[in-house]
Chain A
Amino acid sequence: MADTRHVAFTVNGRPVEATVETRVHLADFLRHELLLTGTHVGCEHGVCGACTVLVDGASTRACLMLAVQADGRHVETIESVAAADGAAHPIQAALSRHHGLQCGYCTPGVVMTLVELDRERAGRALTEAEIRAALSGNLCRCTGYQGMVDAALELFGASADQSSV
């Protein structure tokens, strides 16, 4: 039998307890055990960023973290970003408005990266270069990134209202 461990952590504020195979990575656990399929898997070697989630607030490659490593921690996924009533988060709305997505496969990872960026900037206006650097860990094959950069600039740039979104 494969090696298993008992884990307890929160996902999007809800407690999760499970017995998991130690070799299962967090992305697979979220997707296939919790059926939170918004976190995507593009490479499973930590480069594409499609699997980006926040663990204790820090962006993390869910494909490079084992589910057991999440024990006792707080995980946030794309499913937590929109408001409880379903209304799009300003980052999500801006991505759509600026055509920052096409196939949408990279998009959940992009949203999570921008959610973290918004928290970290703590109201400070960001330059385009800073936004591009922040997004450089998310591969997108469809858009050339311009729409997502413009979305972030609208929200976090010098001309934006400087409260966190």
Chain B
Amino acid sequence: MAEPARIGIGARTPRVEDAALVRGKGCFLDDIHVPGALEAVFLRSPLAHGLIRKLDLAAARAHPGVRAVFAYDDLRARLTMDRIPLALPAAGIRFHVDPFVLAREEVCYAGEPIALVVADSRRVAEDAVALIDLEIEPLPAVADPVKGLEPGAPRARLDCPDNFVASNGIDYGDIDAAFAGAAHVVKERFRLDKGGGHSIEPRGVIARHDPLEGRLTVWDSTQMPHRTRGVLVTTLGLDEEQVRVIAPDVGGGFGPKAVFHPEELAIPAAALLLGQPVKWVEDRFESFTATIGERETDWDMEAAFDADGRLRGIRGRLRYDHGAATPYGVALPFNACTNLIGPYVLPAFKIAIELCLTNKTPAAPTRGAGRPQGTYVMERLLDAMAARIGLPRDEIRRRNFIAASQMPYAVPVKQRDGSLMTYDSGDYPECQRRALAAAGWSDFPARQAAALREGRYIGLGLTNYVEGTGRGPFESASIRVGPSGKVVVTTGATAQGQGVQTMLAQIVAGVLGLEPQAIQVIAGDTNASPMGLGAFASRQAVTAGNAVFQAATLVAEKAKAAASTLLEASPDDLELHDGAVRVKGVPGHQKTLTEIARSLAGAAGFALPAGMTPGLAAATDFLTTGLTYTNGCHLAEVEVDPETGGVKINRYVVVHDCGTMINPMMVEGQILGGVAHGIGMTLFEWMRYDDQAQLLTATFADYLLPTADVLPRLDIHHMISPTPLNPLGVKGAAESGTIGAPATIVSAIEDALSPFGVRIRDLPLTPARLRALVRERSAA
């Protein structure tokens, strides 16, 4: 059955990506066969910390089929500098810790690349890796960010004076007065452990140097090809024209693929040194040990309230595990703290952020990028206070909400770009009201009591949150209608499954009156769009969406202006319909976009239509003005087995407001995936390390991703509070599901176990941990 054509903003347009993907005809990195490509395998550090005392490559080099084996010095010969310059500017950083392309002398996490073997096949390269004679003198490892900051702690890196890599903080309002005058204070300590992105497609890189063109082409499973190009230009001493980076179909990003990893330089450098294409595809073990992740935070917090449950102030200390390097600056714990504030009036806030280097894989954004942790802390503090003073959990939130009439609402916290953190639109109390109604909040106590009589422990939890989305400073787009009639959109945005092509085609289709299938979107290729930033911080609908909208609007205006000459009609009497500009009310009196494009393409010696510039095309950059804030309210109903610690999620309601939705189906897809990730980090996913920072969970059998049989069906409702900050009124949606889920699930579990008086602080909450909490309370 054919779908009816549905186009334009707000339509549930079917995705243009799907036709290839459902047939297995996508083109992911490992699907690219470059003739003559050699295959690469890395030797990685088996220890989390140590000094390389011996690295004998002779046997590996002599192995048949091996073309080269590189250690640090071998690749350094082709580089312009010792380290990979990744640091983003950051306040409070004490020392940048940029990674090396391969470990030089000291290894600082298990999985750090030490040597690179390039061979005729991957199997031969793997054989040769086993022939490398490596000796590492072990050094004490730092596995814990709290212990790592204690005086006398071993150093995670000998090239840094200590582990205290950065300090940061928020301090506004009169915090002392807030606590001095408080009727109630809750004090809590929370420990949230490390998770990860874990896209099902691992990372991978192919590099090919073409000596005829003098050009290096790099296919990279990345969220940010322009950043990759920038780093390669700097480190390889090439110019922008000589480096083309292409992100092919990318099998999921979730943050880790936004960060430049050493392999993305090692493979191109090897290709240049060998004069032959080189391909490397990460295996899952490498993905666990060498791909960045985050979330490990330790919070020591206090919240002061009035007698009626109104927040007076929050203060505390956050210690953050930054792993062994700072490949993305130090923004994550700051995100966590700003997001803690959420949709609530918080008159005073003082928090000290201490970032600790450890001997783990470096920390960098993972879906939510610090925010889920901050929201978790605020919502746990509110629940704790509600329990203390006997206030319903919805009521304590109601008393603290920012009212819709207060929008735009400025929080006295400066953002990365120097602007004040300002919530631009939304109605938080109404959002909660709708969510409570959808989840049956008011009837729940009766159901809960009835279940308890049957010996079943059910609970309902809720969470409100905001998410700053659409980080700038810009995104680029161009649209060209060629003389063939083909409409090509290029953008600096990149796709890892969000449906970027559909989203942008849909916007253009709406403006130009075309079918989305008629529009080709080229994303993720630095040659197609010389400028661009890519995918991070839930930004592409906001930034690329508006850039494309502006460009499409310009193309439509130009098409009308040209048609007005060609049709001898006033532009006011013209409209775009079905790929043509037509005179309103005069059937058949029209010029197709193809005809207009042809007349604007020019012919030797003939004039263009009066006053027109050549080409039916436009290129624009959309510049952001601050972040735009998505918000939402989640409710979850769970059933807990206190004997086993098992948790079953029976119901999950989301009321979500991301302003104007370009494609509600795809917004819901983002929410679904985001919530799944958040449920994972709450109940299943745990990068467990031993005290020497060895990862103990390096397979999908040990590190559990949520599966179809444990995830609930989501009931999603939308509110639409368009942002005034961009022409489309859109806000981002990619991370908000993850931000709201952990606190929601935990609130529900605490509610279910209220007969035991269990209080939950640490994540992830495995069955063993939950059962221990129940036993502790039962014993007490």
* Residues of chain A having any CB pair with chain B under 8 Å: 2, 21, 23-24, 31, 35-45, 47-48, 50, 77-79, 81-82, 88, 92-93, 95-97, 99, 101-108, 111, 128-129, 131-133, 135-149
Q: Which A residues are in CB contact (< 8 Å) with B22? A: 88, 92-93, 95-96, 101, 104, 107, 111
Indicate if the CB atoms of A99 and B668 lie closer than 8 Å: yes
Cα A59 to Cα B496 with chains together (Å): 27
Secondary structure at the A interface, as helix, strand, loop or mixed, is loop
Nearest first, the 9 closest Cβ-Cβ pairs linking A and B are A38-B24, A103-B497, A104-B21, A105-B251, A78-B24, A102-B497, A144-B672, A144-B676, A47-B700
Chain B, Cβ-Cβ closest to A42: B200
Indicate if the CB atoms of A103 and B699 lie closer than 8 Å: no
A-B pairs with beta carbons under 8 Å apart, 13 shown: A23-B123, A39-B24, A48-B284, A50-B200, A79-B23, A79-B24, A95-B18, A101-B21, A135-B709, A136-B710, A138-B708, A140-B708, A146-B713
Cα A138 to Cα B499 with chains together (Å): 21
Indicate if the CB atoms of A104 and B26 lie closer than 8 Å: yes
Q: Which B residues are in CB contact (< 8 Å) with A36? A: 24
Number of A-B contacts (CB under 8 A): 175
Chain B, Cβ-Cβ closest to A24: B123
Known contacts A105-B200, A139-B705, A147-B669; 16 additional CB pairs below 8 A are: A45-B284, A47-B699, A48-B284, A79-B24, A96-B18, A102-B669, A102-B673, A105-B26, A132-B708, A135-B708, A138-B708, A141-B200, A142-B669, A145-B711, A146-B714, A147-B672
In whole Å, how far is A152's beta carbon from the nearest beta carbon of chain B? 10
Cα A130 to Cα B514 with chains together (Å): 42
Partner of B123, one of A21, A42, A105, A137: A21
Given A31-B30, A144-B676, verify A104-B3 contact (CB < 8 Å).
Answer: no
Partner of A104, one of B17, B197, B254, B700: B17
Say yes or no: is B665 at the interface (Cβ < 8 Å to chain A). Answer: yes
Say yes or no: is B332 at the interface (Cβ < 8 Å to chain A). Answer: no
Partner of B284, one of A44, A82, A145: A44
Indicate if the CB atoms of A42 and B202 lie closer than 8 Å: yes
In whole Å, how far is A39's beta carbon from the nearest beta carbon of chain B? 7
Chain B, Cβ-Cβ closest to A88: B22
Indicate if the CB atoms of B251 and A104 lie closer than 8 Å: yes
Chain B, Cβ-Cβ closest to A35: B33
Chain B, Cβ-Cβ closest to A63: B284
Cα A127 to Cα B148 with chains together (Å): 51
Indicate if the CB atoms of B707 and A136 lie closer than 8 Å: yes
Cα A105 to Cα B251 with chains together (Å): 5
Indicate if the CB atoms of B21 and A142 lie closer than 8 Å: no
Q: Which A residues are in CB contact (< 8 Å) with B284? A: 42-45, 48
Q: Which of B659-709 contact A (CB under 8 A)?
A: 665-666, 668-669, 672-673, 675-677, 699-701, 705-709
Q: Which B residues are in CB contact (< 8 Å) with A45? A: 284, 699-701
Indicate if the CB atoms of A143 and B21 lie closer than 8 Å: no
Indicate if the CB atoms of B198 and A141 lie closer than 8 Å: yes
In whole Å, how far is A17's beta carbon from the nearest beta carbon of chain B? 21
Q: Which of B245-274 contact A (CB under 8 A)?
A: 249-252, 254
Say yes or no: is B590 at the interface (Cβ < 8 Å to chain A). Answer: no
Cα A15 to Cα B208 with chains together (Å): 35
Q: Which A residues are in CB contact (< 8 Å) with B490? A: none
Cα A135 to Cα B709 with chains together (Å): 8
Say yes or no: is B19 at the interface (Cβ < 8 Å to chain A). Answer: yes
Chain A, Cβ-Cβ closest to B498: A102
Q: Which B residues are in CB contact (< 8 Å) with A47? A: 699-701
Indicate if the CB atoms of A37 and B23 lie closer than 8 Å: no
Cα A31 to Cα B281 with chains together (Å): 14
Say yes or no: is B25 at the interface (Cβ < 8 Å to chain A). Answer: yes
Given A43-B699, A92-B22, verify A139-B707 contact (CB < 8 Å).
Answer: yes
Say yes or no: is B31 at the interface (Cβ < 8 Å to chain A). Answer: yes
Say yes or no: is B15 at the interface (Cβ < 8 Å to chain A). Answer: yes
Say yes or no: is B14 at the interface (Cβ < 8 Å to chain A). Answer: yes
Say yes or no: is B776 at the interface (Cβ < 8 Å to chain A). Answer: no
Say yes or no: is B74 at the interface (Cβ < 8 Å to chain A). Answer: no
Partner of B700, one of A39, A48, A143, A144: A48
Say yes or no: is B201 at the interface (Cβ < 8 Å to chain A). Answer: yes
* Residues of chain B having any CB pair with chain A under 8 Å: 3, 14-15, 17-28, 30-31, 33, 123, 197-202, 249-252, 254, 283-284, 496-499, 665-666, 668-669, 672-673, 675-677, 699-701, 705-711, 713-714
Q: Which B residues are in CB contact (< 8 Å) with A50? A: 200
Given A37-B24, A88-B22, A140-B200, verify A145-B676 contact (CB < 8 Å).
Answer: yes
Chain B, Cβ-Cβ closest to A43: B284
Q: Which B residues are in CB contact (< 8 Å) with A145? A: 676, 707-708, 711
Chain A, Cβ-Cβ closest to B675: A144
Cα A147 to Cα B669 with chains together (Å): 8
Partner of B673, one of A2, A35, A96, A142: A142
In whole Å, how far is B283's beta carbon from the nearest beta carbon of chain A? 6
Which of B200, B700, B710 has most chain A Cβ within 10 Å?
A: B200
Indicate if the CB atoms of A99 and B665 lie closer than 8 Å: yes
Which of A39, A40, A138 has most chain B Cβ within 10 Å?
A: A40
In whole Å, how far is A90's beta carbon from the nearest beta carbon of chain B? 10
In whole Å, how far is A128's beta carbon from the nearest beta carbon of chain B? 8
Indicate if the CB atoms of B31 and A37 lie closer than 8 Å: yes
Cα A95 to Cα B18 with chains together (Å): 9
Indicate if the CB atoms of A103 and B676 lie closer than 8 Å: no
Q: Which B residues are in CB contact (< 8 Å) with A147? A: 669, 672
Q: Which B residues are in CB contact (< 8 Å) with A93? A: 22
Indicate if the CB atoms of A103 and B249 lie closer than 8 Å: yes
Given A42-B200, A143-B672, verify A81-B23 contact (CB < 8 Å).
Answer: yes
Chain B, Cβ-Cβ closest to A149: B708
Chain A, Cβ-Cβ closest to B127: A2
Q: Which B residues are in CB contact (< 8 Å) with A103? A: 21, 199-201, 249-252, 496-497
Q: Which B residues are in CB contact (< 8 Å) with A81? A: 23
In whole Å, how far is B284's beta carbon from the nearest beta carbon of chain A? 4
Cα A24 to Cα B198 with chains together (Å): 25
Indicate if the CB atoms of A105 and B701 lie closer than 8 Å: no
Indicate if the CB atoms of A141 and B705 lie closer than 8 Å: yes
Cα A128 to Cα B712 with chains together (Å): 11
In whole Å, how far is B63's beta carbon from the nearest beta carbon of chain A? 12
Partner of A143, one of B197, B254, B496, B669: B669
Partner of A136, one of B26, B198, B708: B708
Cα A149 to Cα B713 with chains together (Å): 9
Indicate if the CB atoms of A38 and B254 lie closer than 8 Å: no
In whole Å, how far is A135's beta carbon from the nearest beta carbon of chain B? 4
In whole Å, how far is B285's beta carbon from the nearest beta carbon of chain A? 9
Q: Which A residues are in CB contact (< 8 Å) with B672? A: 143-144, 146-147
Cα A44 to Cα B699 with chains together (Å): 10
Chain A, Cβ-Cβ closest to B27: A37
Cα A81 to Cα B701 with chains together (Å): 29
Indicate if the CB atoms of A44 and B23 lie closer than 8 Å: no
Cα A144 to Cα B22 with chains together (Å): 17
Q: Which A residues are in CB contact (< 8 Å) with B666? A: 99
